Amino acid sequence: MWRMNIKNKMQITYLGRFAALIHKRSLRNEMALDFAEAQLNNLMLNLQTLM
């Protein structure tokens, strides 16, 4: 019983770390997407001013 408890705790911390990694990665992706969107908007504005 006691051993089982330790194993479960280890699994829970592992899952927590995994979730944190996924969360960090998704945040980074969102930032990259925002940056790409801003670049695209700049490009569109530049094209409009050229026309």
Give the pLDDT of residue 27.
83
* Number of separate domains in the chain: 1
In a domain? residue 17: no
In a domain? residue 4: no
In a domain? residue 33: yes
In a domain? residue 30: yes
Write down how long the chain is.
51
* Tokens standing for residue 51: 């026309």
Cα–Cα dist 22/15, whole Å: 10
Q: Tens-of-pLDDT digits for all 51 residues of the chain?
A: 556 676 777 777 887 888 888 888 888 888 888 898 999 999 888 888 887
Whole-model pTM above 0.75?
A: no
In a domain? residue 14: no
Give the pLDDT of residue 4.
66
In a domain? residue 32: yes
The domain of 43 spans 26-50
In a domain? residue 1: no
Give the pLDDT of residue 2.
58
In a domain? residue 46: yes
Cα–Cα dist 27/19, whole Å: 12
